[in-house]
Amino acid sequence: MSPKRGDRAAPPPAPHEWDIRFANGEAAKGWEDLGSQAPGNLRAAWQLMRTDPVPATRTERHHRLKGELAHGAHRGEVMDRWQIEVTAGGRIWYLLDTERRTVWVDRASTGHPKVTD
């Protein structure tokens, strides 16, 4: 069965880890597409989100988005939005629910997001 909105992206987190869930169906579908295209890179991105979704040292491949993309809303709450570059074009965007230690994947795609051009 394919994942859908609200589903967990992988097994439940350990006590010190972040929970990773899909904010919408498109993100769940994109996650599956990334897994088919670049499984090792997706696994590394999953591990980053699980253990260090707000890295102290930001890189070109893992950073907070800027401008109007820097925040997003999920279930009526505004949260910071981050990006991980999974492949040359593939991206994961996620929202941080720090109160619940949950990462909400709100975009996952194998192609570069046009909105950032």
pLDDT confidence bin for 11, thresholds 50/70/90: confident
- Domains in the chain: ranges and CATH: 19-54+64-110 (3.30.2310.20)
Cβ–Cβ under 8 Å, residues 37 and 90: yes
Which residues, including other chains, have CB under 8 Å from residue 18's CB and lie 6 or more apart?
49, 50, 51, 53, 101, 102, 103
CA distance 108 to 85: 10
The pTM score is 0.89
Model pLDDT for residues 35-89, shown as the tens digit of each residue: 999 999 999 999 999 999 999 888 889 999 999 999 999 999 999 999 999 999 9
Decide if pLDDT at 2 tops 60: yes
